Amino acid sequence: MHISNLTAALALAVTLASCSSPAPTNTDNSPHTRDVFAMDTYMSMKAYGENGEKALSEAEEYIKKLESDLSATSPDSCISRVNSADSKPTEITDEAAEIIAKALEIGKKTNGALDITLYPMLKEWGFTTGEYQIPKTEAISRILRNTGFERVQLSGNAVTVPDGFQIDLGALAKGFTSDKIMDIMRKNDVSSAIVSLGGNVQAVGTKPDGSQWKVAVRDPFAPDTDMCVVEIGSKAVITSGNYERFFTGSDGKNYWHILDPSDGFPADNGLVSVTVIGDSGLECDALSTALFVLGDGKAQDYWDANQGFDMILVTDDKRIVCTDGIADSFTNMSGMDAEVLSRD
Ligand code: AMP
Ligand code: MG
């Protein structure tokens, strides 16, 4: 694995962009659009072509269904039934089972950095209600005894968690949702569509003029401004950042919503944001959270050992590290240095 400066790669990207003139694939240039508030997130969807409106309506309906299945805070969801099942097996939907299977897989591959049993800890910090507090040490120790993703059992569509354990799929649900929206687009023969679920973006095809989608990633040090733009085709671009949900404690420190399962505190291992780019929204979402927890060095090691995705890391000392698969389609708009990570 080695790191090089981005300048050379960027120069190449600019040259390629000016040489290529993609053929138009769709002549209908006016998008159908839909905004939905669900899963505690503003979602905006854009679909081009004659079936766009129908596809968006189907997508909206499906988002509402997923929300009512997956929300840990709504008492009727299948996740809430799991959380109050007193260690008995609970039958869940196919969708919830697929997400939990992925969560357990990535939990295992990241040595527990992704842990869907942190829900009681998230509640204790107030991240589920907005009534924030820094928990007492005793509360953290007590709750940590009732966490650990490896204690979740999934057998077909039946899930069992030990008494006192509670799960939450917040780290992966939006990526799964954008995968399903893309499936709905394809099923309706929409070949050009893009969605943003609270800044997590996924696209189908290209823009109607045949060019790539330009996706902005926010600057974690100035979240109202864009740090960089990546150009993508049918990909997901999913970010986890410490600026997304946080509060300032009475000690003047910021505490954010991504917790380190090893100590129950906000993960603070050298990264302030992680963007994962790949084909599967579910996988990218799981990884963005897990790599954020792993921190700078271990996130790079994970990428080195696992294929199938690219990433943009931003470190707390203001460096950008992006992997070589997206270096050519990455434009740095920040004052930070960007380095390229390669596997050789
Ligand atoms: P994301 O924005 O995708 O990184 O997901 C953050 C959400 O995942 C939080 O709001 C929590 O609901 C949940 N969460 C926080 N820390 C973890 C963790 N280490 N493993 C799994 N889920 C987590
Ligand atoms: Mg995530």
The closest-lying atom of ligand 1 relative to the alpha carbon of residue 175 is: 3
Which pLDDT tens digit goes with each residue over 76-123? Answer: 999 999 999 999 999 999 999 999 999 999 999 999 999 999 999 999
3 state SS for 322-343:
EEHHHHCCEEECCCCEEEEEEC
User: In this predicted structure, what is the pLDDT of residue 12?
Assistant: 31
Identify the three-state secondary structure at position 232. Answer: strand
Only one residue has tokens 């204790």, namely: 124
The predicted pLDDT at position 252 comes to: 96
Exposure letters 57-72 (e unless 16+ CB within 10 A, then b): ebbbebbeebbebbbb
- Distance (angstroms) between ligand 1 centre and the Cα of 51 equals 35
Do the bridges between strand 90-91 and strand 158-160 make them parallel or antiparallel, or are there none, so unpaired?
A: antiparallel
Can you give the pLDDT at residue 28?
Answer: 58
What does the pLDDT average to over 192-210? 96
Residue 333, CA distances (Å) to 200, 270, 330 in order? 19, 22, 10
CA pair distance 131, 205, nearest whole angstrom: 42
> How much is the pLDDT for 90?
97
Mean pLDDT to the nearest integer, 199-228: 96
Q: What is the pTM of this model?
A: 0.92
- Measured from the Cα of 244, ligand 1's closest atom is 2
The DSSP element (H or E) to which 218 belongs, if any, is strand 213-219
Determine the residue of 172, 218, 257, 291 to mutate for testing ligand 1's pocket, defined as the one with the most ligand atoms within 8 A of the Cβ atom: 257
The pLDDT of residue 96: 97
Ligand 1 atom with the smallest distance to the CA of 289 is: 4
Q: What is the pLDDT of residue 5?
A: 67
Please give the structure tokens belonging to residue 162: 């030990």
* φ, ψ dihedrals at 187, nearest 5°: -60, -30
Please name the residue that has the structure tokens 């008494």. Answer: 163
Expressed in angstroms and rounded, the spacing between residue 28 Cα and the centre of ligand 1 is 39
Ligand 1: atom nearest CA of 293 is 19
Q: What is the pLDDT of residues 216-273, one digit of tens each?
A: 999 999 999 999 999 999 999 999 999 999 999 999 999 999 999 999 999 999 999 9
pLDDT at 294 over 70: yes
Higher pLDDT, 231 or 10: 231
40-48 average pLDDT score:
96
- Relative to beta strand 32-38, strand 41-47 is antiparallel
Query: How far away, in angstroms, is 209 Cα from ligand 2 center?
Result: 31
The amino acid at 231: E
Q: Best substitution site from 118, 176, 238, 246 to test ligand 1's pocket, by max atoms within 8 Å of Cβ?
A: 118
Of all protein residues, whose CA lies closest to atom 3 belonging to ligand 1? 171
The answer for residues whose C-beta is within 8 angstroms of residue 171's C-beta and 6 or more apart is 103, 114, 116, 240, 258, 285, 286, 289, 290
Q: What number is the average pLDDT over the span 131-158?
A: 97
Taking the C-alpha atoms of residue 244 and residue 256, their distance in angstroms, rounded to an integer, is 8
Give the pLDDT of residue 8: 37
- Name the average pLDDT for the chain: 92
Residue for token pair 């946080």: 246
**Cα angle at 241 between 206 and 201, to 5 degrees?**
15
Query: Which residues have CB less than 5 Å away from ligand 2 (the ion)?
Result: 171, 285, 288-289
Query: Model confidence at 30, in pLDDT bands (50, 70, 90)?
Result: confident
Q: What pLDDT shows up at residue 1?
A: 73
CA–CA separation, 309 vs 323, rounded Å? Answer: 9
Instruction: Say what the pLDDT of residue 237 is.
Output: 98
